[in-house]
Structure 1
Amino acid sequence: MKLKVCGMKYVENIRQVAELQPDYLGFIFYEKSKRNFEGIIPEIPKGIKKTGVFVNEYVEILVSLAEEYKLEALQLHGDESVAYIKELKEYLEQSRKEKRLSKVEIIKVFGIKDEFDFSILKPYEDVVDYFLFDTKGKERGGNGVTFDWKVLEGYNSTKPFFLSGGIGLQEVEKVQQILKTDLPVYALDVNSKFEKEPGLKSIKDLKKFKKIVYDK
């Protein structure tokens, strides 16, 4: 199972988190977010996928940022339709042909609170690489609360997914329980529960989490 640390913002902190070798590092390109990323991404190990998080962004702007930052994954956190994603993929393919980008993964986010109609995922299955399930709240992510993971018992797709929403050290036992199920949990996505302030991650807490959950 992979680990994604999202909401990165500060150069030195990015370097420190990268030393822990997560599989994905997330950078939020959304002006309304407290973790909105601007500036430079320092050199990080090749095995870590730089992930851009976007909310209902114009396709041209999104692709331009993907090229600028050499993103390897795109997380769509808004109300992006299947048609939008198809258009995005056409742009990405053109960019790849012109060697401005390499292969880019597409992650589509869905917010869950107390219940969820999983049938709405069906049209997306052929156009995305992964789903991501986050807690539905007033913010577009980073709310710091978990949703009821029992809802995922109704998940009827084989598409692997990222599990997100308020995952911290206190959720370790819950994480270990869900990993014993047959659900195709591809990655855990952590953010606000590991922060000293928005965008600044606690290396000590991340190390502890990684050791308990991943270093078996």
Structure 2
Amino acid sequence: MAVKAKICGITDDVSARTAIDDSAGMLGFISFPKSPRHLDLDRMAQLIANATAYTAHVNKATKCVSVLVDPDDLLLEAITQQVRPDLIQLHGHESPERVRHIRTRFGIPLIKAISVESRSDVLSAAPYEEMVEHLLFDAKPPKDATLPGGVGARFDWTLMEGYPSARPWLLAGGLTPWNVAEAVSQSKATLVDVSSGVERAPGLKDAALISQFLKAVKEI
């Protein structure tokens, strides 16, 4: 099966271009002040504009995603008007009603992240399916964590096997170039998401690791 990858937490043009050159399906750009990968809106807008232009130049199909945590409507208005991503990823505690409001008001394709520790967490995604383009299943962070994701935690990938989703979904949480094939084998994912697994330090992407991860994905 063909597996595609999202490289999340992009903070510089070199990482973006490396991922695009190696056929990443999506790039994620984070606006969340507690994250080491946080971008203010001006910086995010510039990086996404640069990535979009480069994608067109090299004739690739990589999409740009703004990753937000429990955003209010003012932030969403700014993202849609100033940043103009292809998709918005909601990585907080947004309820199905909140997601429906965001989709109705702003009309942009959405990704909804679901924190997973048990099979019941996986099944809790069902109410979101009609409002989103993709679901994303990430490991539930430790209780003392200040971030909702991007901490290198992983969950039992077999919990995803046979998930009856009507939407394409992404597997996230603790993926690396060395375990992504096993993760796909156990979960049956066709989309994978990596952030800390291609970094040399928190928030510092490593171009060689990005290429290595995407090469591993292509070989699945």
* TM superposition score category, shorter chain reference: 0.7 to 0.9
Q: Which residue of 27, 30, 38 corresponds with 1:28?
A: 30
Once the two structures are superposed, residues 135-181 of structure 1 have per-residue CA deviations (whole angstroms, 9 ceiling, x without a partner) of 111221111122111211362333220000010022134135237x4
CA contact (8 A) 1:53 1:75 kept: yes
Cα contact 1:75–1:108 (8 A) shared by 2: yes
Tell me the distance in 2 between the aligned counterparts of 1:69 and 1:25: 14
Which residue is equivalent to 1:125? 129
Identify which of 78, 83, 92 aligns with 2:106.
Answer: 92
Q: Across the two proteins, how many residue pairs are aligned to each other?
A: 202
Q: 1:13 to 1:210 in 2, by over 3 A?
A: closer
Say whether residues 1:177 and 2:185 are aligned partners: yes
**Equivalents in 2 of 1:13, 1:118: separation in Å?**
31
Matched residue, 2:77? 63
CA contact 1:8–1:26 (8 Å) conserved in 2: yes
Residue 67 of structure 1: CA displacement? 2.3
Specify the code of the residue in structure 2 equivalent to 1:132. Answer: L
Are the counterparts in 2 of residues 52 and 73 from structure 1 also a CA contact under 8 Å?
Answer: yes
Q: CA RMSD in A?
A: 2.1
In structure 2, C-alpha distance between the alignment counterparts of 1:51 and 1:176, rounded to whole Å: 22
Q: How does 1:129-144 map to 2 (within 5 A)?
A: 129-137=133-141, 138=145, 139-144=147-152
CA distance in 1, matches of 2:182, 2:123: 25
SS of residue matched to 1:3: strand
**Maintained 8 Å contact 1:176/1:213:** no
> How far 1:43 moved relative to its partner?
1.6
Letter in 2 for 1:43: N
Q: Deviations over 1:88-131 (max 9, x none)?
A: 122223xxxxxxxxxx3211101112443444222212111111
Which residue of structure 1 lines up, in the alignment, with residue 68 of structure 2? 54
Contact 2:29 2:39 in 1 (8 A): yes
Give the Cα separation in 2 of the matches to 1:194 and 1:53. 18
Verify the 8 A CA contact 1:8 1:14 in the aligned structure 2: yes
> Hey, which of these two has a bigger chunk of helix by percent?
2
What fraction of aligned residue pairs are identical, expressed as a percent? Answer: 29
Contact 1:29-1:36 at 8 Å conserved across structures: yes
Contact 1:55 1:76 in 2 (8 A): yes
Q: Which amino acid aligns with 1:12?
A: V
Residues 1-216 of structure 1 aligned to structure 2 (within 5 Å): 1-38=3-40, 39=43, 40-41=46-47, 43-44=50-51, 45-46=55-56, 47-93=61-107, 104-137=108-141, 138=145, 139-153=147-161, 155-178=163-186, 181=188, 185-215=189-219
User: Any conservation in 2 of the 1:54–1:78 contact (CA below 8 Å)?
Assistant: yes
- Contact kept? 1:167, 1:190, Cα under 8 Å: yes
**Please, which runs of 5 or more residues in structure 2 have no aligned partner?**
none
**How many angstroms apart in 2 are the aligned matches of 1:207 and 1:50?**
18
Q: Is the partner of 2:179 in helix, strand or coil? A: helix
Q: TM-score, normalised by structure 2?
A: 0.82
How far off its partner does 1:17 sit? 3.0
Name structure 1 gaps, 5 residues minimum: 94-103
TM-score by length of 1: 0.84
Report the Cα distance in structure 1 between the residues aligned to 2:115 and 2:121, rounded to whole angstroms.
Answer: 11
